Structure formats: C-alpha cells, structure tokens
Amino acid sequence: MKAQPPEAAPPGDGTREVASTPILAASGIEKTFGRTRALQGADLKLWAGEVHGLLGANGAGKSTVSKVISGQIRRDAGSILWKGEPIELRTSHEAIRHGITMVMQETSLAPDLTVLENIFLAELGRPGFLSFGSMRKRAGQLLDTLGQREALPLDREVRAISPAQRQLVEIAKALALNSDLIIFDEPTASLSPTEVERLFEVMTKLKRAGHTLVFVSHRLEEVFAITDRVTILREGRTVANSVETSSLTQAEIIRFMVGQELKTIYSAHPEQGPTGLPAVLEVKHLRSAPLVHDVSFMVRRGEIAGLGGLVGAGRSETLEAIFGLRARQGGEIRLFGKPFNPGRPADAVRAGIGLIAEDRRVQGIVPDFSVRENLLLGHLAAHHGFGLSYKKRKAKVDELLTMLDLPAHRLLDANMLNFSGGMQQKVLIARWLLLEPSVLILDEPTKGVDIGTRSSIYSMLREIATKGVAVLVVSSDFEELLGLCQRIVVMSDGLSIADVPSAVLDEEKLTFFAAPRTSMKRNTEVLRELVRDLNGAGFWALIDAERLFCLNAVVSNERTDPGFQSGGTPRFSETRIPKALAARSNDFVREADRNLASLVVPVRSRLGHDMGWVGLILDGAAALPPAEPVRRRIETLFAQITSEGSQLPPTN
Amino acid sequence: MNALSADTSIFRSLAGRLEVRMLGLALLLGAILAVLSPHFLATGNLLNLLDQSVVVGIVAIGMTFVILIGGIDLSVGSIAGLTGVLLGLALQRFSIPVAIALAVLAGAGIGLISGFFIARFGLAAFVVTLGMMAICRSLAYICSGNTSISNLPAGLGNIVFTSVLGVPSNVLTLFVLYALAWCYLNYTKGGRTIYAIGSNREAARTAGLNVLAFSILPYIISGALSAVAITFASAEVMSIDPLAGTGLELDAIAAVVIGGASLFGGRGSIIGTLIGVFIMVMIRNGLNLMNVSPFWQGSAIGSVIIAAVLVERLLSSRSATR
C-alpha cells in the first residue's frame, strides 16, 4: 500500500444533532463462505434519521453486511446492538419484526400479483380474511407519505411496471411493515437519472419522517448527493467508520475503497478520434420494433465510440439489431461499405463483429464450461469443421492470458462464476479478441466491475482500438462514456439525436441531450407556435464558451434557418447567427449582413433551474416586433413546460 | 504448488467427476448383489446383463443428447413401436439392410418434426413429444392392423446372434455407439455446442453458435436410435408388436438421470448414462436372481432415481455459489 488513507474521524466528533447512542451498532462482524472470508471484522454504526452510505469496491462485503443486518445471513462472529439491545437475527422475518427491512438489488416481488398485493405480501400469509378495501386505503396513505400516489397504479400486475416503479413497490412494502431501518442495496443500478432524482426525493421524505436509511452504492456522485455519513469497507473490514460525507472528498473515498491512490480511472481525456480513417460500421435509419425507431451512426477504424442515453432509450436493442439478435424492420447496416444483413448472431460473428452483452450471466457465461472453453466459445462458433481445433488457437490464447493478467492454470478452473465481475468481463472480451474482430461492441462493459479493475478494462479497450478495431460502447454511466469514448452518439426514445465529440461535452449536456423526447413534444409545440406567429425559426440550446448545443430546432420560414439542427453542436462561427449568440442581449441582434435578426433568451424552470437558452430568428429585412413582450412570452411558456414536463432533468 | 496438494487436487477433481461417482455406485451395487446372490457373477449372467442393456442403452444415448440441451423426449417408446412396425412391413418387400435403413430414417424424420416444432417455435419439449408419443403409437396400431408381425426373414436374427471375438454383435454395437457418442460430445464442434446450448442458450446464441440446428439434432438422433433399438429388440424375439417399446421412455430417462445428468441441461455425460443403464439392469437382474416378485422392480428403480437426484443436488449445492 503506497498511500496511507487518512485517519477516519471518530463517529460523532463535532457533528450536529447526533443522538448519544446509535440506533444500530454492529461490530466485529465476521462471515466466511466456503473458502472466502467475506467479512473479517466489519463495523457499522447508524444513527436514527440519517442516510448512511455503505461503500466499498465489489467484493468488499457491502452486500454481506447488509444481509447480516437484515437477517438474511447469519454472522459467524461479532455483535449487533439494535436500539441499545443486543439482538440475534436468525431469519429476515425476525429482522422485519424488529423493524429492519432491505430493499433488494434484484427485486423480490411476485410478478403475477398486483402492486397492492405485493405491498401487503406479508399479510397474505396471515390467517383470516383479507380486506382489500382497507389495504387499498393504507396503500394510498403510504404512497402519499412518499409523495408518489400517482406514480404507482395499485391494480397493475408487477410484471407490467417499470424497474423504477418496482423499486417504489419495494419501498412501500418496507413502509407497510413499519420499518425503522431500510437498507437500499444498489437502488440506482437500473434507474435513469430522472428516476434517481425521484428516488432521492423519496429517500429525503423517509429521512424526514424519522426513518434510518442505508444506501449501498459505488456511485460516488450519488453518495455525495444523498448521504449524511458513510462507512467504507475494504476486503471485509471497515476502513472508515461513520465519517461525515461532507468532510470527505471523492479522491479520499476512492483511496479508502481501493487502498491506494488511483490517479485517474481514465488515463487521460480521450483525444479527438482518428477522423480521417474509414468507417467500419455504418448504421442508417435503423428500425427495430418496439424500441428502436430511427438510429443512424457510424464507427471508424481504431475509434472508441459511445452510445449514450437513458435506460429504455433503445441502446441495447440497437446493438442487438446490429448483431442479428433482433429482427429489423427498416434501415441499413454497412460493414466496410458493403450492405450487411445479419439474420442471426452467427452471421455477425463470421463478419467480424463481437458483442459483449450487458448481462454476463444470462448472455455471456456458459456456467458448465471451464474458463478455457468459455474463452474458446467464439472460436467454436466461427470455426468451420467437425472437430474442435482448440489447439490451433493455443498461441493466441497464451498471448491473451498475458494481456488479461490471468495465470494459465486458472484457465482450467471449472467455474467461471467464481471469478470477480471484472475478470469475467475480461475473459468475455478475450473471447472475441481471439477471433480478431473488426468491430467490438460492449454493452455496459463495467457493470458490476469494481473501480480497480475498471481502469484495466479501459486500457484494454484502448489498446484494442489502437490495433485498428472499431469499438462501440453503450453505457448509462455518462462519466464513463466521456472518459472512454472519443465520440458519443446520444439516443433518446429510440432515435439517435446527437453525435458529438466527447471533448466538447460534459455530463450536464449529455443529460440534456438524453432526456426523453416525449418531454420534448410540448417544447416543440411551443417553439413551433412561436415561430409560426412570428414567421421565423427558433431553437432551444445550451451554450458553453463559443459553442452551442442544440436540443431542439424548429424552422417555419426557410430564409431564417439558423444553420444548425437539433442535436448539432456548432461553434458560434459555424452558425448563421454568430453575433447574436455571442451578444445574447436583451434585444434583437442583427447579423453583419443584416439578413437575420435574433433574440436569445435565457430560460429557467419554475423551480429556478437553469434550462439553457431559447433563440428566435427572424427575417432581418422585415419589421421586428418589440423584444420585451416576446422575451416574456418565451420565459413564461418555458417555465410552464418545464414544470409540466417533470421528465426534464434538473440541472444544478 | 507442492506434490501433495497436486495429488489432492487430482483426487478432488476425480471424485468431482460425475462418472467416477456413478461408477463407484455401480460397483458398490454389483458387490452387494454378488454377496446376496451367488449366481450374479456367473459369466452367463454377466452376458445376460449386457444383453438386457442393449435396447434401453441405445435409446438412452439419444435421450442423453436431448436432456443435455435441456429438453426431454417422451416419444422414444412410441417411435420404437412405430418404426418397429415399419421395419416389419419393409422387410416384406426389401432386403434387410434397406428395411433397417428405412426404419432408422423414419425415426430420424419423426425426431426432426418434434425437434423443429420445439426449437423453431419455442414449444415445450414435454408437450410436443407427448403429442408425438400419442401420434406414433396410434400410427403403429394403424400400420400393423393391431396384430404382431412374426414372419420375419431368418437373417434378421444375425444382427443379434453373430458374435465378434466372443462378444455378441448387439452388445458390441451398444459399446460402439457409446464410444461414438462420447467422442462426438467431447471432441466435436457439435458436441460442445450441445453442451453450451444446454448450459446457457442465450450465451450460446450470442457467441454465434448455431443454436437452432443443434437444438433439433438431438431429437433426430433420439428418433433414429429408437429405431435402431427396436431393430435389435425385434431381431432378438423375431417378432414385432405394435405395443413394443411401451414404457421405454421412462427407462431411458431414468438411466440418464441416474447417470447424473441435469434435467435443466448442460450437465451430464454419456458414460454416466451407460453406468445408469447398467445400474438399472443390475437392479432388475438382482431382484430376479433373488426371486423377488417382479412387481417390486418399479419400487426399487424409482427409489434409486430419487436417491440419485437427491445425491446430485446435495453434492452440487455444496459446491455451487448460488
């Protein structure tokens, strides 16, 4: 260990309103599974009414601690004091009776029952008759306390609702049991940014109502956004015990988690990609029901391109359509300029495409195969002939092992599921490298991969790209996209809406681009109405330095076309209205040639969030309306939209 | 790694092999039977054991293929019945080899139909083969006119009673078929694809393997081998009955399960199946030798099936990470 982590602040020193005794104090918890020592002396102290972050790299023991506290796993050693009394939890049932519930990572709901039945699942097991009337009433009250009454249809089957709604059901279920302590295990893993925002609102409400919440996560931004204190685990031990979140920096937390200074996970901000090189994969107007409507993009030789967007935007489905896993209804795919129509994955593999799907267990690993055969599975598919010819690949396998940092004897391990998420992912990447693909597609490549291994996967991908492979990465983690990819194609509601070099982007702009198009409908209507009335053109955009990030553009009068479109990110000088953009004055600004006159107005949501700028472009030759009423009109219209369209992401 | 730990790891991996455990069980059973009945180890009886293994053994090969991809084939007994009748009819017109080839082709064709419906449309194997079971049995009655065919050419008996180096040809065929199946499953692209599909169909598809073709193939093999099995059965008794093969599917499934294969697919071995067949035949034979009423055989074999599955579950849950 090179850098010693800073001393953890003792719990409760100089902090506000801390009750003298914690509501829960677990100390010296130990747990061994088979030969793995999952916990070797973990401590956790929680105070009533706080949101407590439980952090750690993968395999640090976060989930195990949570499961011990919620009675799902029995500890081997250590003690737990609950409200000052020692307790012995043998089952999760006992924990629930004490008021401790865990909201599971993979939800534990019954998909064929309704939302209402799931909320009161525990009561279905009691003797006697059920009163659906009173259950309905109580469910309504519970959702009211969460402020989410409208968000959850009580009579819908759980199978039919979204992951975010399912989580809400889990929370309501915990409330129905009168839980004092609710443990959230990676609750944001499958949520889009707006849904995360809503979850945090719910968590804040719960906290105000006096519940204690544990937030298990490895997304640091979220930890800073929601938690009061954090406990950090490393290798089954507590390395930072109940430290105030505000007293820590991101770098310090990472140091606690990995035990050494990580300079940066991303080696450097990616340079502008190789622009001159030929496109390897081109996708034009791809359509694949039900989620992919119109997607176009291309990936060059030696480039890492990103496909960003929210969960449900159709990113994974786009990849599957390209790979032949999903039927296409329209559009064109070209590989090295030639039309490419994969009917099944085998066609894509033969053509030199590799896909690493999001869910390694479901779509990647063959559990009954040794690691070696898992590695050679792609070879098995690509290989023509009756036999196996595994030996033919021996040299290449050895070469890959060095790259993977995997000792050769582990290749014979019978069960790949015993490997860490990161190593599993590396083996799956190597499966394709064995075939020397020309296109490598990765869906959420670092999902469930700890921070330490992430950086080695990133450098592996860079090396692959340097060798001339076109790499396409889908990720919900915007930071990852920005750090890894040279260019990002943003998708929203099944449409590709922007294609931007990541050097000019940041997370905020990506979030705006990725917002669901459904929320743009009103916005477009408003813009259209405005420009029709005034016979001009209009746009909604973010502005940063000398660059415009156009979120929406509507042209009514061809002569007033501003020279950019929705999704475009031109420099001011590349538009037809550079002067107006630079000035952003209170009045109309005429361009040098006097052909166009534009008004650029800052807009805010009703809650006062900065929502970027709205521009109105009119024919400079015609008479201009007075600027002030037009400005007011734009401001009012936009404040309305943004308060209605709760889908729009807030910005800070 | 020192020598000691290398030794223990070899031991561990050997003991971990399904076949080794099953072989241990079979030898134990053999030893018990040898103690209980002095006739058990007589050469005549051992040959008899092998002879009794042939029909169910051959069908169990196909069943292993089917179960390895996570399917099940309930129609093998009825396919045997139908192809047996077809063999009998064909023997009236064609030479013996041609008639056998026709019967085997018919079996393969029936398997192809079942396999196609199961793999192409994602229907439940249980349901499709249950339907095929009823269809084939009914066709067997129709084609035979519900009478047994006994005027078979004398030459047919040769395929059973010829002996090569002292081994009867039907037993020899059994071993050759098992050897071929073992090689196929372990050393060919098709065999490993079958395992991969059974273990994780989605992963196999995503890796670019030909999931459709290799999901159908096991049913073809199963149908064809049912026909091969009934050919040997017919040659042995020199008579063909439309009822022949009834209950064969249960024996075959039992052998595969006793042999340690998982009904969820991906796990199992052809050697395990062969041992499973031997265990079943040994139990039957042992009970006969001890003059136990044949009505007890079902109870004994049923208990062994449940015990085998239980042992397998206990062993695998200890090593599983789930």
The per-residue pLDDT for range A259-277, each reduced to its tens digit, is 654 445 565 555 555 567 8
A207 located within any domain: no
Domain of A37 in residue numbering reads as 1-99+216-263
Q: Please, are residues A242 and A55 in contact by the beta-carbon 8 Å criterion?
A: no
Cα-based torsion angle of the residue sequence A553, A556, A558, A560 in order, rounded to the nearest 10 degrees: -70
Q: Which residues of A touch B202 (CB under 8 A)?
A: 362-363
Residue A169 domain-assigned (yes or no): no
Closest CA to B71 of B116, B115, B107: B115
d(CA B177, CA B235): 18
- Please say if the pLDDT value at position A44 is more than 70: yes
A172 pLDDT tier (thresholds 50, 70, 90): confident
Of A263, A297, A324, the residue at which a domain comes to its end is: A263
pLDDT tens figures, B183-193: 999 999 999 99
Are A420 and A566 contained in the same domain? Answer: no
Instruction: Determine the 3-state secondary structure of B267 from DSSP.
Output: coil
A380/B266 Cβ within 8 A:
no
**Cα A290 to the center of its chain, rounded Å:** 22
What band does A415 get if pLDDT is binned at 50, 70 and 90?
Answer: confident
The answer to whether B203 faces chain A, any CB pair under 8 Å, is yes
| pLDDT in the model for residue B22 | 79
Percent over 90 (pLDDT), chain A? 24
**Claim to verify: residue A446 and residue A533 sit in the same structural domain:** no
Pair A555, A615: CB distance under 8 Å:
no
**Do residue A311 and residue A446 come from a single domain?**
yes
Which CATH architecture fits B41-313?
Answer: Orthogonal Bundle (1.10)
Domain-terminating residue out of A513, A544, A567 = A513
Cα A117 to chain centroid distance, Å, stands at 30
In terms of DSSP bridges, do strands A495-501 and A487-492 run parallel, antiparallel, or are they unpaired? antiparallel
A397-402, long-range: CB < 8 A, 24+ apart? A397/A372, A397/A434, A400/A375, A400/A430, A400/A433, A400/A434
How far from B71 is each of A207, A270, A565, B291, B292, CA to CA, in Å?
51, 49, 54, 38, 35
> B56 and B234 in contact (C-beta within 8 Å)?
no
- Chain B contacts of A355, Cβ < 8 Å? 206
Residues of A in contact with B198 (CB under 8 A): 368
List C-alpha distances in Å: A32 to A38, B199, B313: 5, 29, 22
**Residue A636 in 3-state DSSP?**
helix
Whether residue B293 lies within 8 A of chain A, CB to CB, comes out as no
DSSP A89-109: --SHHHHHHHTEEEE-SS---
Task: Indicate if A299 and A379 belong to the same structural domain.
Answer: yes
A393 closest CA partner among A375, A409, A369, A370:
A375
Residue found under tokens 């004490």: A98
Pick the last residue of a domain from A464, A490, A513. A513
Q: What are A's interface residues with B at a Cβ cutoff of 8 A?
A: 323, 325, 344-346, 348-350, 355, 357, 362-369, 373, 377-378, 380-383, 385-388, 414-415, 417-418, 431
* Interval B82-103 mean pLDDT: 96
> Is the minimum CB–CB distance between B321 and chain A shorter than 8 Å?
yes
Model-level ipTM above the cut of 0.90: no
B315 interaction partners in chain A (CB closer than 8 Å): none
DSSP state of A114: B
What is the model's pLDDT at position A283? Answer: 95
Closest CA to B238 of B163, B160, B145, B152: B152
Q: Do B208 and A357 touch (CB under 8 A)?
A: no
Which pair of structure tokens corresponds to residue A354? 């590799």
Distance from CA of A436 to the nearest CA of B (A): 14
Look at A385 and B189 and tell me if their CB atoms are within 8 Å: yes
Within a domain: A110:
no
Q: Searching chain A, which residue's CA lies closest to the CA of residue B210?
A: A346
CATH code of the domain containing A322: 3.40.50.300
Residues A527 and A441 grouped into a single domain:
no
Residue A485 and residue A502 in one domain: yes
> Looking at residue A14, what is its pLDDT?
40
Smallest Cβ–Cβ distance between B189 and the set A348, A367, A387 belongs to A387
CATH number of the CATH domain containing A617: 3.30.450.40
Closest CA to B234 of B31, B19, B82, B9: B82
Rg, C-alpha atoms of chain A: 27
Instruction: Report pLDDT for A429.
Output: 93
Backbone φ, ψ for residue A388 (5° rounding): -100, -40
Q: Which residue has the higher pLDDT, A59 or A573?
A: A573
Contact A368 B208 (CB under 8 A): no
SS3 assignment, position B179: helix
Mean pLDDT of chain A: 83
User: End-to-end distance of chain B based on CA atoms, in angstroms?
Assistant: 29
Residue among B214, B244, B207, B236 at smallest CA distance from B119: B214
Position A170 in a domain: no
Q: Which residues in chain A are closer than 8 Å to B272, comparing Cβ atoms?
A: none
Q: What does the domain layout of chain B look like in residue ranges?
A: 41-313
Instruction: Compute the Cα dihedral for B108, B114, B116, B118 and give only its sign.
Output: negative
CA nearest to B89, candidates B154, B159, B153? B153
8 Å CB contact of A382 and B208: yes
**A328 with A454, same domain?**
yes
* Size (chain B), residues: 322
Angle, vertex CA A629, rays to CA A625 and CA A634, nearest 5:
105
User: Mapping DSSP to helix (H, G, I), strand (E, B) and coil, where does residue A520 land?
Assistant: helix
Give per-residue pLDDT as tens, B140-163: 999 999 899 988 998 898 888 888
Which chain A residues contact residue B192 at CB under 8 A? 373, 380, 388
Strands A304-308 and A537-544: unpaired
Contact between B144 and B88 (Cβ < 8 Å):
yes
Q: Which two tokens stand for residue B122?
A: 């994602």
DSSP A155-222: TSBGGGS-HHHHHHHHHHHHHHTT-SEEEEESTTTT--HHHHHHHHHHHHHHHHTT-EEEEE-S-HHH
**What average pLDDT is seen over chain B?**
89
Cβ–Cβ contact B209 with A under 8 A: yes
How do strand A487-492 and strand A470-475 relate by DSSP bridges?
A: unpaired
Asked if the structure places residue A138 within a domain, the reply is: no
Q: Walk across the sheet containing A292-300 and list its strands.
A: A338-339, A330-335, A279-288, A292-300, A495-501, A487-492, A304-308, A470-475, A439-443, A353-356
CB A567 within 8 A of CB A540: no
Structure confidence at residue A10 (pLDDT): 42
Q: Name the nearest CA neighbour of A182 among A91, A101, A107, A105.
A: A101
A432 and A547 assigned to the same domain: no
3-class SS of residue B182 = helix
Q: By C-alpha distance, which of A634, A628, A627, A633 is closest to A611? A: A634
| DSSP state for residue A371 in the 8-state scheme | H
Q: How many residues does chain A have?
A: 652
B249 compared with A585, residue with greater pLDDT:
B249
Dump pLDDT digits (tens) for A355-382. 999 888 888 999 889 889 999 998 998 8
B279 shares contact with chain A (CB less than 8 Å): no
Structure token pair of residue A94? 């006992």
Judge whether residue B30 has pLDDT over 80: yes
| Separation of CA A20 from chain center | 38
Same domain, A506 and A519: no
Which spans in chain B are helix H?
A: 3-16, 18-36, 43-68, 76-93, 96-121, 125-144, 158-161, 169-187, 189-199, 201-206, 211-237, 248-258, 270-289, 295-319
User: Across the interface, which of B16, B193, B206 has its CB nearest the CB of A325?
Assistant: B206
Among A353, A356, A380, A434, the residue to mutate for chain B (most B Cβ within 10 A): A380
pLDDT band at A547 (very low <50, low <70, confident <90, very high): confident
Question: Do A296 and A406 have their domain in common?
Answer: yes
| Whether residues A333 and A403 fall in one domain | yes
Tell me if B136 sits within 8 A of B81, measured CB to CB: yes
Which of helix, strand or coil describes residue A511? helix
A531-547 b/e (C-beta count within 10 Å ≥ 16 → b) = beebebbbbbbbbeeeb
Q: How many CB atoms lie within 10 A of CB A430?
A: 22
The reply to whether A342 and A480 lie within a common domain is: yes
Average pLDDT estimate for A303-314? 85
Q: Which residues contact B319 (CB under 8 A, 6 or more apart)?
A: A415, B16
> Of the candidates B89, B86, B73, which has an alpha carbon nearest to the alpha carbon of residue B248?
B73
Mean pLDDT of A230-247: 89
Q: Around Cβ A337, how many Cβ atoms within 10 Å?
A: 10
Cβ-contact A406, A413 below 8 angstroms: no
Residue A455 lies in a domain: yes
Query: With an 8 Å Cβ cutoff, are A366 and B187 in contact?
Result: no
Q: Show which of residues 10-29 on chain B sit within 8 Å of chain A, judged by CB atoms.
A: 13, 16
Sheet holding A212-216, edge to edge: A100-103, A181-185, A212-216, A51-55, A229-234, A237-244
State the first-to-last Cα distance of chain A, in angstroms, to the nearest integer: 37
A606 occurs within a structural domain: yes
Q: For the range A499-502, what are the long-range contacts, defined as Cβ-Cβ under 8 Å and sequence gap of 24 or more?
A: A499/A297, A499/A567, A500/A549, A500/A569, A501/A272, A501/A273, A502/A269, A502/A270, A502/A306
Q: What is the pLDDT of residues A9-27, one digit of tens each?
A: 444 444 444 557 889 999 9
- Number of structural domains in chain A: 3
Cα-only R_g, chain B:
20
Comparing A104 with B179, which gets the higher pLDDT? B179
Assess if residue A614 is contained within a domain.
yes
Is B260 or B211 the better-scoring residue by pLDDT?
A: B211
φ/ψ of A521, rounded to 5, equals -60, -50
- Residue B116, judged by CB atoms within 10 A of its CB (0-12, 13-18, 19+), counts as middle
- Report residue A216: phi and psi, to 5°: -90, 125
Rounded-to-integer distance, Cα A475 and Cα A338, Å: 28
Confidence grade of residue B298 (pLDDT, cut at 50, 70, 90): confident
